[in-house]
Amino acid sequence: MSTSDLSSLLLSPLRRNAYDDDEEDSDSSQDESQQMKGAVHSYLEESIRPYIDLIDTLRSVGIQKDVALPTIAVIGDQSSGKSSVLEALSGVALPRGSGIVTRCPLELRLKKVTGGVKWKAVLSYRKKRNESVDSSFVAGPIKPSKLANGKVAHSTNDVKKFEFGDPSLVEEHVTAAQNELAGSGVGICDELITLEVMSPDVCDLTVIDLPGIARVPVKGQPQDIGNQIKHLIMKFIKKQETINLVVVPCNTDIATTEALKMAQEVDPEGGRTVAILTKPDLIDRGTEKDILDIVHNKVIPLSKGYTMVKCRGQQQIDENIPLEEATQIERDFFQNHDHFRDLLNEDKATIKCLAVKLTQNLVDHIKTSLPQLNQQIKKMLLDVKIELKECEPGPPEDLKGAKQFLVETLKRFSDQIDSLSSGEQMSGENLFVQLRAEFKKWNDHLNSTKTTFSNSKELSQTNRGRELPGFSNYRLFESLLQKHVANLKKPAVELLNAIKDIIIAHLTDVVSQCFRNYSVLQKTAKDKINNIQLTQQEKMEQMISEQFEMENLVYTQDPKYFKVLSEITNEKFSEDQLPIFDKNCKYSKMMEAYYEIVVQRMADQLPMMILFFMLKQTAQLLSTDMLCLVDGANVSELLFEDSDVSRRRKELRERRDRLSAAQEALNTFFFY
């Protein structure tokens, strides 16, 4: 018998005559014709399948993140045979043996896949908190090289995932994950390990294997290990959505089993408790009758009753007896057993029979949970919608809407930049107030450099050139003025730098304000600002240089100069009729007058140039550049958000989508 046969049993539990009876098939008996059974089977299959499918659909939309879905949890003492039962049910070889083997809850999600798909498994668990994100790719529980048919699939957020294609690797992977989560010793951990098995040969079933209840701590275990484990088990079995599979070995005192007590505690009615008696091959001779009393519900009555199974013993595992063969061995065991033989006919023995009961129980359980589940999802969907409304609106989810949103966002940015550059900015520290302060400093500096030139050594007679005393050299005065004016160049460049910093700070403020949640837009805009400012600054420096070169020309038509000239000579002058000077003392006054004009020229010219190139032009270039982003943009990339609000919104939207999908699945289910 292959695993495929096993699973077909799980999937089609209805070949069993137990259900023939349930279905009021009065004629059902051992001798029932195959034809008849087939008919009943397909009828039942039809009535059960949709429930399993529904839960499957709900699980596939990820709804278990929001609500608990019906599942099966396995509890029992250490080495009672929990993993063995799960293994036989699922056809998936799990870590098994003596001592504490299951040290973390293991969720086994079996998924039947069709269409020529091969066996595939994905093991996942949450990363330990202290682990860095980067190490997840290398420091997996199993080194990538060791994965014969598998590979490290990927690791998102805090979840580690391993995908592999070889069933024999399950044990290795689970053990490695446990070692990582619970340490390689004997400790336990309540982090859930999820093993998703996709195969054409399994049934759609989710079961959780839990650590066994330990009575006495072994070396290395804390004194309260028993309580720790019980606490962990309780977390799972108290959920109303969980069917508790209680595993009790026949060779122990069944009535005093801790697991049974715990199950009764959380489910006094026994409506979701299924008991399994294991190791019937290991019982003390003479206790058979007592055990039969238990199976017949005479000692501790359970509404769902007991099933006896015989799994592979340690020796059979060591001998590598395949699961299929074990199933046959199990059947033979019961058939040849003097006391337990009848259990076969009573549908109280074998893994197959257990599979049938479990599936039926699960479906019953689903049926009773559905109305509540439906209500729960409705309510959650309503809540999540309200919460989403309260969330700061983000970009629409559809591409067209998102593009429109991007256009509007960029337009708003462009408007803000415009009003900043034209001085209409209302909020924050006003740009122009700061600029004016800088320009005032510049003006003050210019004024402080004014001089009478009267003490200039160059003008004294001893410093004269070849001219006869009394004659003057215009070059001398010119170079004197040129030198004095050239001193202004350094402060002019400093002014430019100061202004540049102020403008960048203000532009960056607008960027942060307009693109608060959009880091990509922010970075793009900031890069653009820096680039534009850099080019503009180069232009400006060039222009300042040119300006100072021009100043070397020493030229003016300013009437103020001519006014001074007239005062000195007491004659009226125009540019066409210049006087002839012969007295040095007049020159310094003329130079003073000229420098005054230079100062005035500089006081206006530089701020104007800076305003134009560093602010006006920059703003224009930036606006246009940003608006151009819309053309051929990767909208979702540009609107990528990473703030807390957007993360929350994203979560809520995902949740809403999950819940909507679940509700739709439920509606469809109820409707048909």
251 makes contact with ligand GDP (CB under 6 A): no
Residue 310 vs residues 77, 90, 203, 434: alpha-carbon distances, Å: 17, 15, 21, 87
As a whole number of angstroms, the distance between CA 56 and CA 62 comes to 10
SS3 content of the chain, % helix, strand, coil (to 5): 55, 10, 35
Residues 259-298 as x/- pattern, contact with ligand GDP by CB under 6 A: -------------------xx-xx----------------
Q: Which stretch binds Mg ion (CB under 5 A): 93-101, 174-182, 241-249, 578-586?
A: 93-101
Q: List, in order, residues 6 or more apart from 664 with CB less than 8 Å away.
A: none
The answer to whether residues 77 and 155 touch, using CB atoms and an 8 Å cutoff, is no
As a whole number of angstroms, the distance between CA 568 and CA 545 comes to 34
Q: Tell the residue number behind the tokens 């038509």, with chain if given.
A: 557
Residues within window 316-335 making contact with ligand GDP, judged by CB under 6 A = 317
The answer to whether residues 385 and 656 touch, using CB atoms and an 8 Å cutoff, is yes
Nearest to 638 by CA among 436, 407, 432, 479: 407
Residues in contact with Mg ion, counted by CB under 5 A, come to a total of 4
83 makes contact with Mg ion (CB under 5 A): yes
What residues pair up with 278 in beta bridges, in sequence order? 249
| Partner from Mg ion, ligand GDP, none contacting 552, C-beta within 5 to 8 A by type | none
Judged by CB under 6 A, which of 82, 109, 173, 337 binds ligand GDP? 82
79 makes contact with ligand GDP (CB under 6 A): yes
| Partner from Mg ion, ligand GDP, none contacting 278, C-beta within 5 to 8 A by type | ligand GDP
Least distance from ligand GDP to the Cβ atom of residue 180, Å: 20
Torsion sign over Cα 538, 540, 544, 549: positive
Residue 46 vs residues 12, 39, 40, 43, 371: alpha-carbon distances, Å: 10, 11, 10, 5, 21
Judged by CB under 6 A, which of 42, 135, 156, 314 binds ligand GDP? 314
Cβ proximity to Mg ion: between 84 and 623 the closer is 84
Cβ proximity to ligand GDP: between 325 and 458 the closer is 325
Residues 361-400 as x/- pattern, contact with ligand GDP by CB under 6 A: ----------------------------------------
What residues pair up with 77 in beta bridges, in sequence order? 213
Structure tokens at 423: 């001085």
Q: Which stretch binds ligand GDP (CB under 6 A): 78-86, 117-125, 193-201, 504-512?
A: 78-86
80 makes contact with ligand GDP (CB under 6 A): yes
Residues within window 23-82 making contact with Mg ion, judged by CB under 5 A = 82
Q: List, in order, residues 6 or more apart from 240 with CB less than 8 Å away.
A: 68, 272, 369
Cβ proximity to ligand GDP: between 165 and 313 the closer is 313
As a whole number of angstroms, the distance between CA 493 and CA 541 comes to 7
Least distance from ligand GDP to the Cβ atom of residue 196, Å: 20
Q: Helices marked H in 455-488 — which ranges?
A: 474-486
As a whole number of angstroms, the distance between CA 161 and CA 123 comes to 6
Q: Which stretch binds Mg ion (CB under 5 A): 83-91, 104-112, 115-123, 585-593?
A: 83-91
Cβ proximity to Mg ion: between 101 and 629 the closer is 101
Amino acid, res. 388: L
311 makes contact with ligand GDP (CB under 6 A): yes
Cβ proximity to ligand GDP: between 351 and 511 the closer is 351
Q: Tell the residue number behind the tokens 């484990």, with chain if given.
A: 229
| Partner from Mg ion, ligand GDP, none contacting 81, C-beta within 5 to 8 A by type | ligand GDP
The answer to whether residues 105 and 192 touch, using CB atoms and an 8 Å cutoff, is yes
Amino acid, res. 36: M
Residues within window 395-424 making contact with ligand GDP, judged by CB under 6 A = none
The answer to whether residues 445 and 491 touch, using CB atoms and an 8 Å cutoff, is yes
Judged by CB under 6 A, which of 270, 305, 313, 322 binds ligand GDP? 313
84 makes contact with ligand GDP (CB under 6 A): yes
Residues within window 90-129 making contact with ligand GDP, judged by CB under 6 A = 96-98, 101-102
Residues within window 95-154 making contact with Mg ion, judged by CB under 5 A = 101-102
Least distance from Mg ion to the Cβ atom of residue 11, Å: 25
Judged by CB under 6 A, which of 12, 83, 194, 242 binds ligand GDP? 83
Least distance from ligand GDP to the Cβ atom of residue 652, Å: 40
245 makes contact with Mg ion (CB under 5 A): no
Tell which phi-psi region holds residue 461, choosing left (phi > 0), alpha (psi between -120 and 50) or beta. Answer: alpha
Point out the residue whose Cβ comes nearest to Mg ion.
83
Q: List, in order, residues 6 or more apart from 30 with CB less than 8 Å away.
A: 17, 345
Amino acid, res. 489: K
Residues within window 211-230 making contact with ligand GDP, judged by CB under 6 A = 212
* Binding residues vs ligand GDP (CB under 6 A): 76, 78-84, 96-98, 101-102, 212, 278-279, 281-282, 310-314, 317
